[in-house]
Amino acid sequence: MQELNQTRIAERLDQLTELSVELGGTHDTDALLERILVAAKTMTNADGGTLYRPGADKRALDFHILWNDTLGIRQGGVNGAQISAPPIPLYDADGAKNLASVAAYAAHFGVSVNIADVYQADVFNFSGMVEFDRQRNYHSQSFLTVPMSDHEGELVGVLQLINAIDPDTGAIRAFSPTDQRFIEALAAQAAVALTHQRLIRQLEELLESLVNLINIGIDEKSPYTGRHCQFVPELTMMLAEAVHNTETGPMADFRMTDADRKELWLAGLLHDCGKITTPVHVVDKATKLETIGDRIHVVDTRFEVLLRDAEIAALKQKLAAGDDPARLVAIDAELARRQADLRDERDFIRFANIGAEAMSAEHQQRVREIAARRWTGPDGAERDFLDADEVTNLTIKFGTLTEAERKIINNHIVVTIRMLEALPWPKHLKNVPEYAGGHHERMDGKGYPRGLTRDQMSVQARLMAIADIFEALTAKDRPYKKGKMLSESLRILGQFALNGHIDPDLFDIFIRSKIYLEFARRNMDEKQIDAIDETLIPGYKP
């Protein structure tokens, strides 16, 4: 008999060792809890078992897994039926501890409770169990209830076993002291594994919260970038899933795990985090003359001065002309012509200030000619009508940014990379800096900041580049432009696929899987969504 007991103890030690290894490699909480309960039942040859977890408010124990072999009950866990039992309250209505329930008692005091025969016990309230037995023609007898606590003594669960079966006779027996010690050891290991998972989950939640904190900071600086920071990750994941599901063509081998998806999603959220350092007046520059305010109003005032000066000069001429009717008519005609020219120039400068379309060389030259006009300022000094900085801004060929300001904007990706590479990323997130930092690179090596070519970039960075460009083209919330029509955006993107700007294989999937249309219907103004003839999209062959 002693030799038999030693053999069983050795088997349990092996089980405990094997379980320790398994617990360390399990990342699915439900699978982990189910494995714990199965191991406990196996070690003690128990007929049934329950695993409780503290509720969200810590005022009750929720049934997480409920198994009984004789009754064929499999509830909770990985593949079990839905739990039907109500939670066990840890406190009564007055806030006093519930000590009538054996599971609640073990949870409150952190001690194991081993009962040989519950029908002979008078300490706890087993009325619910008695009713359970009556309804199912079952006989509950021996109970072993063991709390699971983390390193700080916080309850993480309660493990309860019912009816230990004697392997030799098949009769119900009490849980032995050895059973209890092994289950307590198992519970301790399980608590460590659960705590480990909880800490990992909390760290991931903390990381995501910090990411959101950065994006909130960017949004507060510039509400115009909020949509971009939200939609680029969404569009990136949509395209990534389409590539993942592709079974033919150059991208057929691309596959993602759930960990890969999380890594890419975080990279998408952080792809513009460097903009938190970009000056607001550059990010939000709606017109060419805008700094803190739009300087077009200052230029308008100068035109008003010139209009006034022209009128004053005409009045002086009229005084000098006396009663000469022909001369007076000529003066009025000249004043009307002069003021019409000034108003036309003012309207032209206002148009040039918008910066929405490409500016021709002729228009740039006209700005310089207007700038060279001399006028007398409020201080009485004569000067050029537009100063050098105003000319530089008003002759910007594309958009509203000067070369210096564009360098400031482009620097956000350098800052993004520097910020992300400074973080101690865990192994499963180590590619976040590369994914996030590559969305302004080009397939032909003409992008920035590193001038990478297609072969030097990951698929994830390449598809994020497409998402970034398409969202920017269609965005209607930019201060410096209107959102483009869907057809025009696809035409521009198609040209980019042809000229080496974006990956043509990913662009093909973007169109073929109709990711563009799904995104448009979700997020674009319906007025921007026009009819699309895919045969006319450059760089795409249906």
Q: What is the DSSP string of 144-202?
A: EEEEEE-TTS-EEEEEEEEEEEPTTT--EEPPPHHHHHHHHHHHHHHHHHHHHHHHHHH
Nearest in space to 240 (alpha carbons), one of 510, 495, 537: 510
| Whole-angstrom distance, CA of residue 272 vs CA of residue 436 | 8
The CATH class that applies to domain 2-200 reads: alpha beta
Q: Are 155 and 108 in contact (CB under 8 A)?
A: no
Rg (CA), the chain: 37
Mean pLDDT for each 10-residue chunk of the chain (542 residues)? 54 60 63 84 92 90 92 88 88 90 93 93 84 90 92 88 92 92 85 79 84 79 72 95 95 94 93 86 82 86 91 90 86 92 93 83 94 87 91 90 88 92 90 94 94 96 96 78 87 95 96 96 92 93 89
Q: Which phi and psi angles does 157 have, rounded to 5°?
A: 170, 170
Q: In this structure, which amino acid lies at residue 98?
A: N
Share in percent of the chain as helix, strand, coil (round to 5): 55, 10, 30
Q: For residue 13, what pLDDT is reported?
A: 57
**Strand ranges inside 465-526, DSSP E:** none
pLDDT in tens, 349-360: 999 998 766 889
What's the token pair of residue 386?
């537009």
- Looking at residue 2, what is its pLDDT? 42
* Residue 52 host element (H or E): strand 46-54
Predicted confidence at residue 62, as pLDDT, reads 93
- Predicted pLDDT of residue 432: 95
Contacts of 142 (CB under 8 A, 6+ apart): 115, 116, 117, 118, 162, 163, 164, 172, 173, 174, 175
CA atoms within 13 Å, Cβ hemisphere of 139: 10
The hierarchical CATH code for the domain 222-277+421-536 is 1.10.3210.10
Helix (H) or strand (E) holding 9: helix 2-25
